[in-house]
Amino acid sequence: MAMLCSLAVVGRLAFTFIPNVQPTTAIILLSALSLGAIPGIMIAIVSTLVTNFILGTGIWTLWQVVSWSMIALITGLFKNFHQRLPVFVLSLYAGLCGLIYGFIISIPMSRFVGNFWGYYLAGLPFDISHSIGNIVFFSIFYPIYFKIFKNQFKTF
C-alpha cells in the first residue's frame, strides 16, 4: 500500500500543470478493486494529505478526502467481480468517478459561494477534464497493474 500511496502522490504532483488531470483517482480505483474499500480509503487519505502539504492545504482538503474515500468505498463493492467486466466498461466507470468526485466536493464547497448549481456548473469543465484523465490513466494502468500484482493479490 505504501508503494501505491507513493505512486498516487508522485502522479498527482507530476501532473499539476494540467488542471484536474492526475492519476490519483485511477490508483485509488485500482487499489479498491484489488485490495478492497478500506485500503482504497487509506490510500485516498494518505495521498490527499501528503500532496496537499506540498500543493497547499485548506478546507477543501477534508472534502477531497471525503470525495476520494466515497469513490473508494463504492469501488470496493466491485472487488469480487471486476474481472468479469471489460476494461472499457471499467474505464467509463473511472470517468464517471471524476464527475462523482466533482459533484461530492461541490456540495460543501458551494456553501462558501451560496449557490450550489452556479459553483458546480462553473467547475464542470474541470470535472470533465478529471473524467477524461481518469479514463486515460485507468485504461493504461489497469492491465499493467493486474499483471504486475496478480501474484500479490492471492495473499489477500
pLDDT of residue 119: 92
Mean pLDDT throughout 92-107?
96
What confidence category does residue 123 fall into, taking pLDDT thresholds of 50, 70 and 90? very high
Which residue ranges make up each domain of the chain? 2-155
User: Model's pTM, two decimal places?
Assistant: 0.91
* Tens digits of residue pLDDT in 65-77: 999 999 999 999 9
- Choose which CATH entry (3.40.50.1370, 1.20.200.10, 1.10.1760.20, 2.130.10.10) describes domain 2-155: 1.10.1760.20
Q: Phi, psi at residue 125, to the nearest 5°?
A: -60, -35
Mean pLDDT throughout 108-123?
90
Percentage with pLDDT > 90 across the chain: 78
Cell 452556479, residue? 118
pLDDT of residue 89: 94
pLDDT of residue 152: 66
Provide the b/e sequence for 62-98 (b: ≥16 CB within 10 Å): ebbbbbbbbbbbbbbebbeebeeeeeeebbbbbbebb
pLDDT at 156 over 80: no
* Tens digits of residue pLDDT in 141-151: 999 988 887 76
pLDDT at 154 over 80: no
* Tens digits of residue pLDDT in 5-52: 999 999 999 999 999 999 999 999 999 998 999 999 999 999 999 999
pLDDT of residue 16: 92
**Separation between Cα atoms, residue 147 and residue 138, nearest integer Å:** 14
pLDDT of residue 153: 58
